[in-house]
Homo-oligomer: A and B are copies of this chain.
């Protein structure tokens, strides 16, 4: 139960990474309270450092800080989820456009290895599967060398896992590995437009798989609308 040990000035970042990891692993589910005191006690640092980490996380959209009421793991709405994936697509489109036909042999191998790891984890290790699926996208982004782009894609991939945790269907991330393979093939072939199209399809299928439940818990008036129409009632 030793706390964080690192040289001066680095511990806040360690706290940040620990919390981020816990959130992405869903050890801390969306909505979970994040009391500065108990976190600090658990990690062996004072509340100040926990606070700094929470501020960082809130800037990244993983944590929501409610003034005077403490921080909680963010619980993005369905609409925020859809907007997030829309934005993510715009950025990942830039990623594949940048990378098409530009990958070095070493990079191609790295991506192949990654996809291999995804296949290896498929089926029997759900948590790893999910993590690797996200990391494929951040790995691609990192190969652009565009710092801003990398940072935003990382952020959105992280937040995507919150969305999937809230609204995703169980076992919904399994079918994506082959799509990763197709994207890589298009990039290697330098077929930019096809890579964009594949990425579009890939992200869209994630979105709809995850966000389709929209119908289920929407406003009762919307739910009833179709029944009314079927009965020749209302509008």
- A residues with a Cβ closer than 8 A to B are 8-10, 48, 51-52, 55-56, 59-61, 67-68, 80, 83-84, 86-87, 90-91, 93-94, 98, 145-149, 152, 156
Contact = CB atoms under 8 A, between A and B. Distances in A.
21 contacts: A8-B67, A9-B67, A48-B48, A51-B52, A52-B52, A55-B56, A55-B59, A56-B59, A61-B148, A80-B148, A83-B149, A84-B148, A86-B94, A86-B149, A87-B91, A87-B94, A87-B146, A87-B148, A87-B149, A90-B93, A148-B156
Most chain B beta carbons < 10 A, residue from A90, A145, A146: A90
A94 B93 CA distance: 11
B8 A83 contact: no
A8 to B, nearest CB: 7
| Integer count of this chain's copies in the complex | 2
Given A68-B9, A90-B93, A152-B152, A83 B147 contact: yes
A8 B69 CA distance: 12
Contacts of A87: 91, 94, 146, 148-149, 152
Given A80-B148, A83-B147, 5 more contacts: A9-B68, A48-B48, A52-B55, A86-B94, A148-B156
* Minimum-distance CB pairs A-B, first 6: A9-B67, A59-B59, A90-B94, A83-B146, A87-B148, A87-B149
B8 A68 contact: yes
Nearest to A84: B148
The secondary-structure label for the interface of chain A is helix
Contacts of A145: 83
Nearest to A53: B55
